[in-house]
A and B are shown apart, each in its own frame.
Chain A
Amino acid sequence: MNTYILLKNKMPSSIKKAWIIKDLITFFTSIVVIEALHFLAKIFWHSTWINKSELILIIIVTSIAVFSLILIPYKYFFHRYEINQTEVAIQTGFFFRKTIYIPLVRIQHIETSQGPILRLMGLTELSIHTAASTHHLSGLDIKTAANLRTQILELVEVIREDV
């Protein structure tokens, strides 16, 4: 069996921490929301279904959180990117493998954004806009992002093409 060719660059390893924090935050907020809904529902209705549905929802939320926490190393291993002379390549997934190639010439603009979690880790999220679609590269360190930016600006100087 041929081995699947993975791209060169992994995300910086601190992205794992960011993903863990993100997962935990979504888990706790959803638990809080469910509890609040439960509390309100108990005031206004009287039904045995309220407790049951609360239990089911909590089980669903916990299992989602546990799964996504377990899958973080997997996601980290297969979430890769590569920037070469002509294109940006973004790779995701093991079971559903997908590689997107974006020619640098086609890039319309690049957006960097940084939420509080990513800022804590010193990372930025890069959104690459082409005329047709937007591709996200979550978590690059600031230096790489800046490099990419200058590189694309240079290429724009070399080639002038339009939609």
Chain B
Amino acid sequence: MSKYQRLHPLVILKKSISWSFSFILILIFDILRNPSNKFNWLSSTSIFGALIAAAIIFNAYRWVTFKYQISSTTLSIKTGIFFKREQIIPFSRIQSIHQESWFLFRPFRIIKLTIETASSGSKVESTILELVPLSTYDLLEKLRLGKNDIIETDIKQANEQHYKERYSVSLNDIIVFSLVDFNVISGLLGLIAAVYHFSNFSNKYLNPFLNRVAASGLFIISSFIIIIIIVTIFVSIAKNIFKYYKFKVYRELDNIIIERGFFTRTILSVPIERIQAIHTKGSLLQILLSLRTVELLLASGKKSENNENTEDTTFFLFPIINRRLLSTKLAQIIPEFTEKFNQKEPQSFPCPPHYFLFSRFHFLGLFLLIPLFFWNSSSGWKFLFGILIISFTLLSVINSIWKTKTQSSTYYEKGLLTVRTVHFFILNEYLCPLNKIQSISISTTPFLYYQQLGHTALSLKTGETALKIKLKYLSWPICENIKKCCSPKIKKYTLKK
């Protein structure tokens, strides 16, 4: 394809509709200001019409000026009339490609493509081709994978081999995932906060109602709360079902392809060499059920437009998976990572537990008991706060003990480092290719150095922020050893003075 092309014309319609949705809110507010006045109705609807017309004109202008071209090695995009901008993206620099198909446009075989590159610093550059025919995606993928010189029949054979579905999520799994996920709890807290906020505003109206509720007994209150809990659980299940409906992961040559979604079907393809790390998470509940969540850490984080899904910075590889299945599934999908595990003598860095060093600062919380002692209040409140402080300290101490017990790191030759840490009662395991570790820092204090101890932190690029993986209170030689292992080996290079 050598000529510059425009997007599909339906993009004008889609964009204008999504704009007018946001205008409708303004319209409703405007009408509610003075609903009985007929002139007000007329004027606000005419303003609304004008806004829609402006949106259509603007989007048409955008459609006319936005052109793209796919050559054998690059994707170039031209925009603007007055301020012309041409953007050229070499295929080798693409971090990931998202393909989203809205269910209304699926019969037309039209999709939305988001192409991401990692630019320097903290920014993530993403290019959006709003609506293009599906064939564009196929062409792009074909060129990007370097298949253009392979004969057609070979491609078909290759496809049949690699399109085999490797991991998929059933409805059951999604339900378990949403129950185990912290989303339920955080959603509940959010709801409670919202209700609390609301009750402050309309104290007048709510108080009589609450009194009536209280009068009719605790039973109703508790049933009310239970209903709220059940509703939130169902909402989060429904949300996850729509989001992870028919979740599929498979390999295609050097790419991992992840498909998901009900209304908007999203297909994400990530080149293997662009994976910064693989992150396995297990919260307490998940560990009890021997389940894990696996995420891909990428240098690009998908910027969500219109704030539709703000959680899209996490790329789940397996939203939920049994711990025993994990290693085999990983081996099927990313053999590049797992085949390094089979080495005879991986170098594991011993991290002996330091119970006191880890938990010492958490005991400082107990000092909060002193002002409580002098506080003049009824003993009931005192007792409650005392219990709260003590239990909080205990929890953080237990967390730190768990942290020091589980902390470990292993180095595999040919460039792979595994790190296992605990953070807020969540067990994290990272598989990092060594060539993705951006910098290493070792820190200590005179007191710790006297005992030959230090902390090590590895920094990786994930999305718009850097991820720091910290290993604490390691012995000094091990800190230096980790550093030595992680630093890249360069052959045949001598420093010029």
Contact = CB atoms under 8 A, between A and B. Distances in A.
A108 interface: yes
A80 B326 CA distance: 45
A87 B461 CA distance: 18
Interface in B438-469: 438-446, 449-450, 452, 459-461, 466-467
Interface string A131-146: 1111100000000000
A135 B118 CA distance: 19
A130 B439 contact: yes
B461 A131 contact: yes
Contacts of B466: 132-133
Interface in B75-96: 92-93, 95
B490 A85 contact: yes
B442 A98 contact: yes
B120 A109 contact: yes
Interface stretch (A54-62, A115-123, A151-159): A151-159
B405 interface: no
Interface residues of A, number: 36
B438 A130 contact: yes
Contacts of A134: 121
Interface in A1-56: 1-2, 4
B90 to A, nearest CB: 11
B488 A1 contact: no
Contact of B443 (A84, A98, A135): A98
B443 A131 contact: no
Interface in B116-152: 118, 120-121
B249 interface: no
Nearest to B121: A129
A106 interface: yes
A103 B442 contact: no
A74 interface: no
A108 B121 CA distance: 9
B325 to A, nearest CB: 31
A103 B487 contact: yes
B377 interface: no
A95 B436 CA distance: 31
Contact of A101 (B467, B487, B490, B493): B487
Contact-size category for B = 35 or more
Contacts of B55: none
A96 interface: yes
Contacts of B437: 106
Nearest to A97: B444
Interface in A85-103: 85-87, 94-103
B494 interface: yes
B243 interface: no
Nearest to B439: A102
A43 to B, nearest CB: 38
B121 A106 contact: no
Contact of B490 (A98, A99, A105, A163): A105
B438 A133 contact: yes
A105 B436 CA distance: 11
B314 interface: no
A151 B438 CA distance: 18
A32 to B, nearest CB: 34
Contacts of A86: 487-488, 490
Interface in B10-26: none
Nearest to A102: B439
B441 A98 contact: yes
A161 B439 contact: no
B476 to A, nearest CB: 8
A163 B438 CA distance: 9
B456 to A, nearest CB: 10
Nearest to A106: B438
B118, B446, B488 — most chain A CB neighbours (10 Å)? B488
10 contacts: A86-B487, A86-B490, A97-B446, A100-B439, A103-B487, A109-B120, A130-B439, A155-B490, A158-B490, A163-B461
Interface of A: 1-2, 4, 84-87, 94-103, 105-106, 108-109, 129-135, 151, 154-155, 158-159, 161-163
Given A105-B490, A133-B459, 7 more contacts: A94-B446, A103-B488, A106-B439, A129-B120, A132-B461, A133-B438, A155-B490
